Structure 1
Amino acid sequence: MRVPMLDLSEQYQTLREDMISVLDDVMGSSRFILGDNVKKLEADVAQYSNTKYAVGVGNGSDAIHIALQAAGVEAGHEVITTPFTFFATAGAIARAGATPVFVDIDPVTFNIDPSKIEAAITDKTKAIIPVHLYGQMADMDPIVEIANKHNLAIVEDAAQAIGSTYKGKSVGELGTAATYSFFPTKNLGAYGDGGMIVTNNDEMAEKMSVIRVHGSKPKYYHHVLGYNSRLDELQAAVLNVKFPHLDKWSEMRQQNAATYTQLLKEQLGDKVVTPVALENRRHVFHQYTLRVEKRDELQAYLKEQGIDTMVYYPLCLHIQPVFKDLGYKEGDFPEAEKAAKEAVSLPMFPELKLEQQEYVVSQIAAFYK
């Protein structure tokens, strides 16, 4: 049996007529930049996030960068984040001219460990970026407490976590701002790049809206150095078709996760460590990630059986070659480094079939037997 990591074809077929219609409408309107589709999506995502504002931008990486700039992060500042995340998190810090400062992760959730943050704060620290990895929010209460104590901005990297909640609060409600990615593989994915920033801060929203259009307001008058980073009207139209289905798709992901966990417990017991959805949090399972022994050998075996898997992420950011000048070394963040050696993500998408999941788990069991 062939089991892909992600299959968007069935989803497209259910939405095909609506997609063709809205894309034809956009092309017929000849309004391709910051039109009505972008405005509608911004309004809907802001409401969904329980925030006052949403600002559509070119991609999730720019979303972090623009949010940091709007929060006043610049050269000479430091921003605290996790070393166990996609490169864009720390890349945005560096592009803003600041220095990434890493702290270790919670081994249960793979998210930043709040108990490690305060020791990393210096007089140069300007912000904290908690990453809501794999679809579950980080432990925000202590992070907010630390940020308030030290007058720091919080930019939530929610690229993988649209729809997740923490003690009833949505992404963006607890931080200064939160950033989404609409990369095609995300829970709410475009047919190309796209991103968005949500916030309740009036000043931040205004700054971000100006930064995304070359720092121009009014047009051709530039008071800040901005970028060309606008959410495309065609992509917004695609996302407007998909958005009403997001909660249903999240529920399907949650059901698939529950099925995986049940099957794995039945067939492997404690041989693998399954994901934990913590109490008072809504985990939207962008990924279903295990901790396993002999991870690389398992991955190779599953590939031979026609099963795709992914490793998010095989090399922690603090030991990436591009960040060698920061002075970190292997061993500095043992939990993150251990996760990088043990974590493997199984196929996960709303339309995943029970027989596909049964096959995946049976092959994992066969490998360990």
Structure 2
Amino acid sequence: MVSNKGQWIVPRAEGYSTNKKLRNKIISGIENVMFNPYVPGNAEFKPLETEFASAIGMNHAIAVQSATAGLILSLRACNVGLGDEVITVGNSDISTTAAISIVGATIVLVDILENDYTIDVEKVESAITERTKVIIPVDLYGHPSDCIALRRIADDRGLMIVEDAALAIGAKYDNHHVGYYADLTTVSLAAAKPLSSSGNAGMVFTNNYELAEKVSLFRGYGREFDDNRNPPLSYEHVVEGFNLPMDPLQAVIVRSKLPYLEEWTEKRRMIASKYCDALCNKDVKLPSFSDYANPSFSSYVILITNRDELNVEMRKRGIETGTHYVPAMHKQEVYKSHLIGRSNLPVTERIADQLLALPIHPEMSKKQIDFVLTALKELL
């Protein structure tokens, strides 16, 4: 299944080579945090947040422990709690639904679109009740949700949008980075993500100053920090918060990689284009997108009826393919008794049974790309 060295010939994600290329820059930053007595532990937060916000064209960015933490903090900032309902999808990581449960709200699932696997806007509108407070679209695989349409619905019904763009850093919709039409957006910067740390890390961003301040407040135990992120002299807590800042060493790594975001995203799009050209006449369903969307392709996924067989054969050849979110959230034992909408998700269920993710990352060589394409042509 793997090469003679015990490694995949073509891994699905690969951060090792990138880390090696940026080794000197990363180590210099880590040493500055670890061994400079005049540098506080949170010194990397402010420059990273400023540079991150600038890179994606937003006003505010808040560095957090993970994308999951970002969702929890965002929901708290939107005053979501017991008795409220939050609409989202079932084809996502458990972090999306868990964040809703953790703040005490009720999870309401709606189905997705078959072309790009994002939330079906028409289903959202019919799921809104007097208890609905937030919509969480998930930009799965780097495919941006239709947040223009969702924004219209949210404004009309007095709701807020917390965009789960965990896998979509670099993606754009209507020429804006994901998050532009949301009230708050969270992305994952964990290891193996398109813009990665070496462990867990995330970022919340927004154009709303008050929401940014709330997220920052909840992130830091509910204590008010000054403009330079220095802690207050007293231990007075304005709200009951959490201890969920980004680890400063992870902030160093993310900051070292941020300047390459656009370049790496374009490389992913190039590989996705090659997959599309090679598979367009095969018996598989490829993702398709609206004219507004410019995906970042954290994964390139296809739908095929004999998914499991193809997955086994590709992996035998040393190509790390894989499945995602099987079973879907509404089929998970942990959610057996407390989900709304679980009985009406046919597209979600079909995609869970047929979806296969192919390798895609900026470190893929031409030889590796051709190796994958040859295998697909032979097996399909």
Counterpart amino acid of 2:215? M
The reply on whether 1:216 has 2:228 as its aligned counterpart is no
Secondary structure of the equivalent of 1:238?
A: helix
Matched, 1:249 2:264: yes
SS in 2 for 1:117: helix
After TM superposition, the structure 1 stretch with the greater mean CA deviation from structure 2, 162-171 or 339-348, is 162-171
Q: Which residue in the other structure is 1:301 paired with?
A: 313
Q: Aligned match of 1:324 in 336, 343, 363? A: 336
Structure-2 separation of matches of 1:22 and 1:305: 39
The match for 2:229 is none
Alignment of 1:130-169 (within 5 A): 130-169=137-176
Does 2:317 correspond to 1:286?
no
CA contact (8 A) 1:64 1:157 kept: yes
The offset of 1:69, in angstroms, is: 0.3
Counterpart code for 1:341:
D
Partner Cα distance (1:278, 1:98) in 2:
32
Report if aligned partners of 2:74, 2:215 keep a CA contact under 8 Å in 1. Answer: yes
Letter in 1 for 2:327: L
Q: Deviations over 1:11-50 (max 9, x none)?
A: 1221111111111111122446321x11111001112232
Structure 1 residues 177 and 327, CA gap change in structure 2 (3 angstroms): closer
Contact 2:108/2:340, CA 8 A, preserved across alignment:
no
Which of 232, 246, 255 lines up with 1:231 in the alignment? 246
Q: SS at the partner of 1:156?
A: strand
**d(CA) in 1 for partners of 2:313, 2:259:** 38
Letter in 2 for 1:152: L
Change (3 A) 1:355 1:278: farther
- Provide closer, same or farther for how the CA distance between residues 323 and 182 of structure 1 changes in structure 2, counting only shifts above 3 A: same
Indicate conservation of the 8 Å contact 2:109/2:342, yes or no.
Answer: no
Aligned-residue offset at 1:328: 5.9
TM-score by length of 2: 0.92
> Residue by residue, what CA displacement relative to the aligned partner does 1:73-128 show, whole Å, maximum 9, x if unpaired?
01110000011111111110111110110000000010000010011111111100
Q: What letter is aligned with 1:337?
A: E
Distance in 2 separating the partners of 1:327 and 1:262:
40
Q: Structure 1 residues 246-255 or 299-308, which shifts more?
A: 299-308
Provide the identity percentage.
Answer: 34
Deviation at 1:326, TM superposition (A): 2.0
- 1:33: which partner in 2? 41
CA contact (8 A) 2:14 2:192 kept: no
Describe the shift of the 1:336–1:185 C-alpha distance in structure 2 as closer, same or farther (beyond 3 A): same
Cα distance in 2 for partners of 1:317, 1:215 equals 32
Q: What's the counterpart of residue 93 of structure 2?
A: 86
Q: Secondary structure at the match of 2:204?
A: strand
User: What do the CA deviations read for 1:199-224 (whole angstroms, capped 9, x no partner)?
Assistant: 11121111111111111234411232
The 8 Å contact of residues 218 and 240 in structure 2, kept in 1 or not, is answered as yes
Query: In the alignment, which of 302, 308, 311 is matched to residue 323 of structure 2?
Result: 311
**Which residue in 2 is equivalent to 1:347?**
359
User: What's the offset of the Cα at 1:4?
Assistant: 1.3
**Count of matched residue positions in the alignment of Structure 1 and Structure 2:** 364
Which residue does the alignment assign to 1:64?
A: 71
**Separation of aligned partners in 2, 1:103 and 1:186:** 26
> Which string of whole-angstrom CA distances, capped at 9 and with x for unpartnered residues, describes residues 180-209 of structure 1?
111111111001111111011121111111
For 2:316 and 2:68, how far apart are their aligned partners in 1?
34
When the two chains are superposed, the root-mean-square deviation of aligned CA atoms in Å is 1.6
Alpha carbons of structure 1 residues 345 and 32: separation in structure 2 relative to 1, 3 Å: farther
TM-superposition CA deviations, 1:285-340 (whole Å, max 9, x none): 11000111210111111111111112122111112111111256875200000000
Residue 245 of structure 2: SS of its match in structure 1? coil
Superposed displacement of residue 270, structure 1:
3.3
Q: Structure 2: 5+ residue runs without aligned partners?
A: 4-8, 225-231
| CA positional deviation for 1:135 | 0.8
- Find the residue that maps to 1:116 and give its secondary structure: helix
Matched residue SS, 1:315: coil
In the alignment, which of 317, 337, 347 is matched to residue 335 of structure 1?
347
Query: Is the CA contact 1:60–1:179 (under 8 Å) kept in the aligned structure 2?
Result: yes
Separation of aligned partners in 2, 1:158 and 1:201: 17
Task: Please give the alpha-carbon distance, in whole angstroms, between the structure 2 residues aligned to 1:187 and 1:14.
Answer: 16
Task: Report SS of the residue matched to 2:350.
Answer: helix
SS in 1 for 2:336: helix
User: 1:49–1:173: 8 Å Cα contact kept in structure 2?
Assistant: no
One-letter amino acid matched to 2:41: I
Conserved? CA contact 1:263–1:358, under 8 Å: no
The one-letter amino acid paired with 1:289 is V
Q: Where does structure 1 lack aligned partners over 5 or more consecutive residues?
A: none
Q: 2:26 aligns with which of 13, 19, 31?
A: 19
How far the C-alpha of 1:364 sits from its partner, in A, is 2.6
1:154 alignment partner AA: I
Instruction: Compute the TM-score of the two structures, normalised by the length of structure 1.
Output: 0.95
